[in-house]
Amino acid sequence: MAFTTEQKKIIDEIKKLKKAKNAIVLVHNYQRPEIYEVADFIGDSLKLCVEARNTNADIIVFCGVSFMAESAYILNPGKKVIIPFYDAGCAMADMLKPSDLIELKKKHPKAKVVTYINSSAEIKALSDAVCTSSSAVDVVKGLEGSEIIFVPDKNLTDYVAKQVSEKKIIAFDGYCPIHDFLTRESLYEAKKEYGNAKIIAHPESKDEILECADYISSTSEMINLAKKDPAKDFLVLTECGMVERLKKEVPDKNFHGVCNFCFDMKKNTIESVLKCLKEEKFVITVPKNVTEKALKAFNKMFELTKNGQKND
């Protein structure tokens, strides 16, 4: 990837500031390629949680969306967690309010609650376990109880329910517009052009899409799958940033996006990362009582996934 002289200057400045301030930059796979250049770690939600939990840095600059930065704060509350844009949210996380979950819990008093990380800290605090796309099946399988309320993503719920048929799974009606709007028609069109391509899809996609996929995985796992599979061409069904990430990590293969952009993920720019680190804002915090309860739900995920290693 070629960067402009101005971008290179900013990248150098960020690297110097990171050292001076003992800061690390955690970057989600969907971020812009120039932001990858200043990352200490690039990954999916689970890998970024593990890094946030283990870091000794004083400052965590989180390049992703706000629920990810909140999660970093919950996992390592002594650290200063900052994000370039205070309003980089997640449309799916915003769909579920604490009152909706309280209602569901009342309706199903015996059920345990597994909450996808794409949710607010308050929702996590009301849950028995948190999960990510790569740990969802293990968490639902491993959690005690035969009835599970799984929120907020109805598509991920369908996917998990198929893998864990021995449990009754109760869904909420949330979804990610970026993934839910992918259609079979757009996939057929791409297949016409790249007939031999393997299809890799994110489990936030609809069942009708997942049925056509060769692989269903978290964003980071897509990289491992593309490296291992002998195919040369891949259709990538998730947020469009993943296509850039795959091209960078697996340069000898071809990746074609059947994808949409997540505008919240794309709010961060290399300029805003520099400003964020210089001014040390916007600072993310979570109230103490919420942090304590949400941390218990995170720890349940770590217990059921051998500290996040099980999905490597």
282: cis peptide before it, omega within 30°? Answer: yes
- Site for ligand SF4 (CB under 6 A): which residue of 24, 125, 178, 187? 178
Please pick, from the candidates 24, 52, 92, 226, the single residue that binds ligand SF4 as defined by CB under 6 A.
92
For the chain, what's the residue count? 312
217 counts as binding ligand SF4 under rule CB under 6 A? no
Edge-to-edge order in the sheet of strand 254-257: 215-216, 198-201, 233-237, 254-257
108 burial class (0-12, 13-18, 19+ CB within 10 angstroms)? middle
CB of 262 to ligand SF4, least distance (A): 3
**Contact status, residue 260 vs residue 182, Cβ threshold 8 Å:** yes
* Residue nearer to ligand 13P on the CB measure, 17 or 182: 182
| Binding-site member from 37, 51, 128, 239 for ligand SF4 (CB under 6 A) | 239
> Among residues 23 and 156, whose Cβ is nearest to ligand SF4?
156
User: What residue 264 binds from ligand SF4, ligand 13P, none (CB within 5 to 8 A, per partner kind)?
Assistant: ligand SF4
Binding partner of 44, given ligand SF4, ligand 13P, none, CB within 5-8 angstroms per partner class: ligand 13P
Of residues 118 and 268, the one with the C-beta less far from ligand 13P: 118
The reply to whether 90 sits near ligand SF4 by the rule CB under 6 A is: yes
CA–CA dist 17, 114 (Å, integer): 39
Q: Which helix (H) or strand (E) holds 68?
A: helix 66-75
Interaction partner, residue 245 (ligand 13P, ligand SF4, none; CB < 5-8 Å by kind)? none
Q: Indicate whether 118 belongs to the interface with ligand SF4 (CB under 6 A).
A: yes
> 137, 140, 176, 274: which one contacts ligand SF4 (CB under 6 A)?
176
Q: Does 130 bind ligand SF4 (CB under 6 A)?
A: no
132 binds, among ligand SF4, ligand 13P, none (CB under 5 to 8 A by kind): ligand 13P
Please give, one letter per residue, the 3-state secondary structure of 242-309: HHHHHHHHCCCCEEEECCECCCCHHHCCHHHHHHHHHHCCCEECCCHHHHHHHHHHHHHHHHHCCCCC
Among candidate residues 52, 95, 72, 45, the one with its CA nearest the CA of residue 202: 45
List of residues contacting ligand SF4 (CB under 6 A) = 65, 90-92, 118, 176, 178, 204, 239, 262, 264-265
